[in-house]
Structure 1
Amino acid sequence: MTALTASFDGRTVRRVGYGAMQLERLHDRRDDAVALLRRAVELGVDHVDTAEFYGFGFVNEVIRQALRDDDGVLVVTKVGADPNPEGPLPLRLAQRPEQLRASVENNLRGLGTDRLDVVNLRRLDTGPGLRPEGDQVVDLDDQLAVMTALRDEGKIGAIGLSSVSLDVVRRALPAGIVCVQNAYSLVSRDDEDLLQLCLAEGIAWVPFFPLGGTFPGLPKVTDEPAVHAVAESLDITPSQVGLAWLLHHAPNVLLIPGTADVAHLEANVAVSAVTFDAATLAALDAVESRSSEVAI
């Protein structure tokens, strides 16, 4: 069995958290969204990932309504993009320093707090998704300057990074980085060197798209025969195998799987108890890794 807890921003948290983006699917069922998040807390979830652009602010509103001070839940949000209800995509890039500051203020208002526990700067240098262009191509030092200023002002507790390269993380280390969120899964392990750097530096590694396959052209963990074989042998789902592999792979991995379904939430949280023997882990480690570089 893997360790059940890990360090995150100086706190000990359970290794399986909750990614709140899928709550936007419950936009017309707010009570169900609140109940789902309350169930996550009942199951021991103590860190939640969000963003003001999730559901155009709806997700942050649900978190504000559902979570209580005595729940002790660490809320991690992100900046680098803003809601864009009228655009072809539901978000627009917001990488300039003044936009990062405005995004922090928007998250503060949406979550109803005067301090954000952790804020990830999502730079979009790597992984699947958009790439900055024009005035959205901003030097890292300029971005870190405003992020550290916001931390000094007490509006941010700690700084993380998302969609970044190995070189960017190395440059950012003096600023005090507590976590890195990149696309990473059993079938897309491009960032193995970056994961190991984070492990050496005591930085939490928080993979998004932990099962791959979110965009067309990306490989899916649940398509792998080896994953299905392990799932059958342990009487669990292929998705649980993929998530459990991440926990076994490195002790600084924290998971934030998202769902809008209570049964799926319970299955995700249960992966912390999944045990692999050496032969099973070797079979999974042997699965081929393919690139996650897909642009949209």
Structure 2
Amino acid sequence: MTEVTQAGIFQLGDLSVTRMGYGAMQLAGPHVFGPPKDRAAALAVLRAAVESGITHIDTSDFYGPHVTNQLIREALHPYSDALTIVTKVGAHRGSDASWNVAASAAELESAVHDNLRNLDLDVLDVVNFRVMFNAAAPTEGDIEEPLTALAELQTKGLIRHIGLSNVTERQVAQGRTITDIVCVQNMYNLAHRHDDELINRLAKEGIAYVPFFPLGGFSPLQADALSYVAEQCEATPMQVALAWLLQRAPNILLIPGTSSVAHLQQNIKSVNLQLPADFLSSLDNIGI
């Protein structure tokens, strides 16, 4: 058993993935736009992730755009049968690096084909629909039309499974009336606990919850509390934050991103960090 698999395996539909995954967003240039500063280092971290036992890579063709998918293809193709690549659609990048809504049926179909081409795949394992009513936070709105368009692409055999990103509980409920939803990807961490009830509900349904920004938005006081636990555990604050997420619920899958092999290895070590009950209690109070 590799260090990564000690965190456990989760079923995304018929796909088995390691709960400790890898997010490729940081492999693009500044502001997730343009090529990486060090292409060789970007390729190295992708290969190191897979060699470590990670079987879940998160990406999108609007990272770059096209950059991270092309790096994944160069580093890892032909892909191992064990590897699951999860991508996102619903946005496109302007020439000024802006993030723009791309949720019409035609735009979604184009995005799916962009992902297929740049990843060199015949079918996408999982496609998350990124809701962009408000790019900064989940915002209520009807998602029937775009999700129906993705479901039609699924019936054509271009997509295996569908997930949702940046969504409210109502949108998750609506999505599940249209197609099977295998994962929800929202911002969540120790300091931002707005999805606590949603995570618990999804856990009962066997649906994955994939938090992004696992160490973002802490106040100085909250950061001090996290740093204290990290010091007592002889770990980094990031390792403690990741370990807390793994212990928070069995359906939480992690996709921490990095462009450094050394940082990747640090993140992986968090799977072996079992936080004692008193520290868990202390950390639980950070976001309340």
Q: Is residue 2:115 matched to residue 1:107?
A: yes
In the alignment, which residue of structure 2 is the partner of 1:278? Answer: 277
Distance (Å, rounded) in 1 between the aligned partners of 2:275 and 2:236: 14
Secondary structure in 1 aligned to 2:121? coil
1:247 aligns with 2:255: no
Is 2:185 aligned against 1:181? yes
Range that drifts further, 219-228 or 46-55 = 219-228
- CA drift of 1:110 comes to 1.2
Q: Which residue is 2:80 aligned to? A: 70
Identity %: 42
**Partners of 2:272 and 2:234 in 1: CA distance:** 13
Structure 1 residues 200 and 130: alpha-carbon distance in aligned structure 2, compared to 1, 3 A threshold: closer
For residues 132-151 of structure 1, the aligned pairs below 5 Å read 139-151=142-154
Q: Take 2:253 and 2:132, find their aligned partners in 1: how far apart are those partners?
A: 20
Quick one: which of 159, 164, 184 aligns to 2:162? 159
Q: Distance in 2 between matches of 1:163 and 1:266?
A: 28
Q: How does 1:1-296 map to 2 (within 5 A)?
A: 3-25=7-29, 27-67=36-76, 68-70=78-80, 72-87=82-97, 89=98, 91-125=99-133, 128=136, 139-174=142-177, 175-213=179-217, 219=218, 223-289=222-288
Q: Is the 8 A contact 2:22 2:254 kept in 1?
A: yes
CA RMSD of aligned residues (A): 2.2
| Aligned mates of 2:72, 2:189 — CA distance in 1 | 27
TM-score by structure 2 length? Answer: 0.89
* Unpaired stretches in structure 2, ≥5 consecutive residues: 1-5, 30-34
Deviation at 1:130, TM superposition (A): 9.3
How far apart, in 1, do the equivalents of 2:275 and 2:37 lie? Answer: 40
**Secondary structure of 2:112 counterpart:** helix
What SS does the aligned partner of 1:179 have? Answer: strand
The answer to which of 246-255 and 50-59 deviates more is 50-59
Structure 1 unaligned blocks of 5 or more: 214-218, 290-296
Distance 2:172 2:92 in 1: 23
Q: Shift of the alpha carbon at 1:55?
A: 1.4
AA matched with 1:186: L
Tell me the residue number matched to 1:292. none
Q: How far did residue 127 of structure 1 move?
A: 7.3
Q: 1:257 touches 1:268 (CA, 8 Å); kept in 2? A: yes
> CA 1:39–1:120 in 2, change beyond 3 Å: closer, same or farther?
same
Q: For each residue in 1:187-213, what CA deviation from the matched residue of structure 2 results, as whole angstroms up to 9, or x when unmatched?
A: 001111211221121110000111123
CA–CA distance in 2 between the matches of 1:5 and 1:145?
A: 30
Q: How far 1:271 sits from its partner (Å)?
A: 1.0
SS at match of 1:181: strand
Give the corresponding residue for 1:216: none
| Aligned residue number for residue 293 of structure 1 | none
Distance 1:126 1:167, change over 3 A: farther
CA distance in 2, matches of 1:220, 1:114: 45
Partners in 2 of 1:221 and 1:65 — Cα distance? 41
Distance in 1 (CA, whole Å) between partners of 2:258 and 2:53 is 16
Q: Post-superposition shift, 1:5?
A: 2.0
1:126 CA drift (Å)? 6.3
Check 1:235–1:127 CA distance in 2 against 1; reply closer, same or farther (3 A cut).
farther
